[in-house]
Structure 1
Amino acid sequence: MDRISSVVIVGAGAIGASVAAMLSDSGHAEVEVCASGERQERYRKEGFVVNGTRYFFPLAEKDTSRKADLVILAVKNYSLDEAIDEMKPFVGNDTIILSLLNGITAVPRLRDEFGADKVPFAMILGIDAHRHANEVQFTSKGQIFFGFEKERIAAGESKLRVLGDFLSVCNVPYRIPEDIVKEVWFKFMMNVAVNQWSALLRASYSLFHRSRHARALLEQTMAEVVNLSKKFGTGLSDDDIARMLSILDGLPSFGRTSMLQDVEAGRRTEVEAFAGTMVRLSKEAGIRCPYNEMLYQAICALEESYAS
């Protein structure tokens, strides 16, 4: 494949709808949204309102023999299995699968299903998209990071070039880092600490800017991720904690994490992908992660309180 011209978006929440709008506005790709059942009817009837503009993205037809050049996943981790079933009809031999899911477990799962050559590691960082019903607002596009681990870079070089050329012409910021695995774990560390504590404390970034107690909670939680990373050889060091706090200090004080937005809306959170993964992998590695053990129980209890 020399260039990307057809894109299927799987997961049209805040991130998915924002990326779909960016690509559609560029005029350089045919963008379709994958949906079934009630969502399909709702998308067809209501469309999406992104930054005040209403979009009626074409809905991908599952019975077609046409395969997508690029499939972008932007679902929550707990919907990954359902998303895999929905996207199967659109994945061909040359399809690139770009997962923008949080956490560190989605790419291995996708590779098991579709093959490692189709699925680079990826993430999106810095986008400030917020969703309410079918309306999405964002002021920063953020940046998409993607790449293959070092032992796969040579084999995947052409796919990375084609994907980079496509995002460039669509005016979507991107970066191909030298060590994508470390960068994915770096974002995982941010999600595990900032997302979870913001949800539990019901706090915007402002609290973590000014409260030494809140920052201490972040530091101890991030230290557990660094400790686990050292066990798995994924590149994080103690210096990355200070780097993360520096990035946090640059975020707007009124900003709210996606997990905080989920809690405020009474939605299911990604605690399984964050604290749940930390607890499971730490047990496999023979180490403890007491902050994440507590966060897991506390956030699960918070979800259980929705119905009370």
Structure 2
Amino acid sequence: MERVALVGLGAIGAGYASRFVEAGIDLRVLADAGRRARYAGQPTIVNGRRYDFDFSDGSDGPADLAVVAVKRAALDEAIELLRPCVTGRTVVLSLLNGIDSEEVLAAAFPQATVLLAVSVGIDAVRENREVRFSSLGRIVFGEPANPGPHAEAVAETSDLLARAGIEAVVPQDMVHELWWKWLINVGVNQVSALIRAPYGVLQDRANPARAVMIAAQREVIGVANARGVRLDETDLDRWLDVLDTLGPQNYTSMAQDALAGRPTEVDSFAGTMVRLGAELGVDVPVNTVLYGLLKGAEAVQP
């Protein structure tokens, strides 16, 4: 496994792209003509270092690994960019927030190996084309249950990430990990976006916003259990331990979007929670309120 194609050069994508380049791995960043022109005019800076990434429209050969690091609203565009370079030998990793992007990618690329994946513990922040982070966290990935029928592809992907200096973990129950990451996002991303605050505010045990975050996450536990996914309070405690390791001055990606006046991922979080709650007969009052407030805030965005 040698060639990597990455779509999405935001905070998370740029952070991981910098590691691939530093390790000498053949990386192409896929983008349309307009973005390629903008990137050429304003190179990406990661932790103070300039990176002149190799940009492509995807037509210059197959990729061994395709990393998708866009927001949910840009997934369809990312799929079209990836079409020329995804083959039967390609492994696809989606780092999108939410619980359904892998299904969409698997439907688009039935010939490829689409693994479940989440990025945990990364605190990258982007301002224009400058990205900074104190922690890249780790990528947790694999088949729904590991080891599975694509164990060789999982092992090769793990080796490539290790060569890039990216911590990778392959759990036995990846479905659990996917929902655990969604539990994190439903709480911290939405509350931080609503109050437009960095991690430090939610690390403060005395701040009322922390209680709202936790209440939203407890609702995820209820919905997960109704779907047959075994989340419980120990998963919430595990998240709170991770929260304490993040840079207190850094912001979630959703808070960054809110501050910049960009659309947020509320539909992937509270929107999905409200829909699943209705389908499963699980009350989700906190997420119902978060959905209304965040959608209302977007509607009056200048």
Q: TM-score, normalised by structure 2?
A: 0.94
1:87 to 82, 85, 106: 82
Amino acid at match of 2:79: I
Are residues 1:107 and 2:112 paired?
Answer: no
Are residues 1:229 and 2:215 paired?
Answer: no
TM-superposed deviation, 1:195? 1.0
Compute the RMSD of aligned alpha carbons: 1.7
* 1:1-308 alignment, distance < 5 Å: 4-27=1-24, 29-64=25-60, 66-115=61-110, 118-150=113-145, 153-208=147-202, 209-211=204-206, 213-307=208-302
1: CA distance, partners of 2:140 / 2:266:
23
1: CA distance, partners of 2:9 / 2:198:
24
Local SS of the residue matching 1:288:
coil
2: CA distance, partners of 1:231 / 1:289:
12
1: CA distance, partners of 2:280 / 2:111:
24
Amino acid at match of 1:199: A
2: CA distance, partners of 1:50 / 1:175:
24
Local SS of the residue matching 2:88:
strand
2: CA distance, partners of 1:306 / 1:103:
24
1: CA distance, partners of 2:98 / 2:135:
21
Local SS of the residue matching 1:94:
coil
TM-superposed deviation, 1:158? 0.3
Amino acid at match of 1:55: Y
Greater fraction of residues in helix = 1
TM-superposed deviation, 1:117? 5.8
* Conserved 8 A contact 1:117-1:156: no
Against the structure 1 CA distance between its residues 156 and 132, is the aligned structure 2 distance closer, same or farther, given a 3 Å change threshold? same
Amino acid at match of 2:32: S
Local SS of the residue matching 2:251:
coil
Against the structure 1 CA distance between its residues 134 and 268, is the aligned structure 2 distance closer, same or farther, given a 3 Å change threshold? same
Against the structure 1 CA distance between its residues 212 and 47, is the aligned structure 2 distance closer, same or farther, given a 3 Å change threshold? closer
Q: Can you give the 5+ residue segments of structure 2 that lack an aligned partner in the other structure?
A: none
Structure 1 stretches of 4+ with a deviation exceeding 6 A read none
Amino acid at match of 1:198: S
Against the structure 1 CA distance between its residues 117 and 181, is the aligned structure 2 distance closer, same or farther, given a 3 Å change threshold? farther
Q: 1:121-140: per-residue Cα shift (whole Å, max 9, x none)? A: 10111122111111111222
Local SS of the residue matching 2:148:
helix
Amino acid at match of 2:159: D
More displaced stretch, 74-83 vs 244-253 = 244-253
Q: Can you give the 5+ residue segments of structure 1 that lack an aligned partner in the other structure?
A: none
2: CA distance, partners of 1:146 / 1:193:
22
Amino acid at match of 2:17: A
TM-superposed deviation, 1:294? 1.1
* Conserved 8 A contact 2:270-2:287: yes
Local SS of the residue matching 1:145:
strand
Q: TM-score, normalised by structure 1?
A: 0.93
Q: How many residues align?
A: 301
* Conserved 8 A contact 1:226-1:237: yes
2: CA distance, partners of 1:126 / 1:111:
26
TM-superposed deviation, 1:212? 5.2
